[in-house]
Amino acid sequence: LAKTTQPISMDSYEGQEVNITCSHNNIATNDYITWYQQFPSQGPRFIIQGYKTKVTNEVASLFIPADRKSSTLSLPRVSLSDTAVYYCLVGDRSSGTYKYIFGTGTRLKVLA
Amino acid sequence: EAQVTQNPRYLITVTGKKLTVTCSQNMNHEYMSWYRQDPGLGLRQIYYSMNVEVTDKGDVPEGYKVSRKEKRNFPLILESPSPNQTSLYFCASSFGGSDEQFFGPGTRLTVL
């Protein structure tokens, strides 16, 4: 099961680009990397998913290097409403099961 | 509206009194899962189900039971709750093979 490591917290200012890096050294060949966002007292919400290189959607970009041992979630021009906890997740496909380890996430605080 | 619902949203109970937290999804998802969230520990998976009558343990299954008799429902059962099961519980669902999970609004449980 690939464990992920993220910074505990980050601060940023409105309008800046924020990059949150996640380490997953033991990622398996079949595993995808998924990022979630969670606001206080709400369930996590899917943001983006990728396997390699770069993925972009209307909310964020995800950069994955060739060795796939890390990934970076990029949030362009953050606003106060982006203040949340962000989780990097690697699904366990190695045994054909679907266990997930969310970890403690990165608490992003956007300042005015 | 596509959603995952949980009931109750808030529950205060006493040690040893059996309780059930219901979870229902209307998206015809094969995969369903239960998580608990505690301060400093992030989200931890309790049980998951790949489909009807197929369930498996997550990382913290002790003290919990689940059943999946219908595709849309995945109740979480605490046969003899203890204070260390005081937590915020989330139910989630997804299409089989997808890491994009849809989360319910959460159930805040307090065991006295």
Cβ of residue B43 closer than 8 Å to a chain A Cβ: yes
- Among A7, A34, A19, residue whose Cα is nearest residue A107: A7
* Interchain CB contacts (distance < 8 Å): A and B: 59
pLDDT tens-place string over residues B74-109:
999 999 999 999 999 999 999 987 889 999 999 999
pLDDT category of residue A30 using cuts at 50, 70 and 90: confident
pLDDT tens-place string over residues A51-105:
999 999 999 999 999 999 999 999 999 999 999 999 998 876 666 667 887 878 9
Written as six digits, the tokens of A63 are: 């950069």
* CB distance A15 to A25 below 8 Å: no
Q: Name which of B4, B90, B101, B108 to mutate to probe chain A: the one with the most chain A Cβ atoms within 10 A of its Cβ.
A: B101
Q: Enter the DSSP assignment of A51.
A: S
Query: How far is A53 from A39, CA to CA, in rounded Å?
Result: 28
pLDDT of residue A2: 66
Which chain A residues contact residue B92 at CB under 8 A?
43-44
Which residues, in sequence order, are CB contacts of A88 under 8 Å at separation 6+? A4, A6, A20, A22, A24, A33, A34, A35, A71, A73, A103, A105, A106
- Among B100, B22, B86, residue whose Cα is nearest residue A100: B100
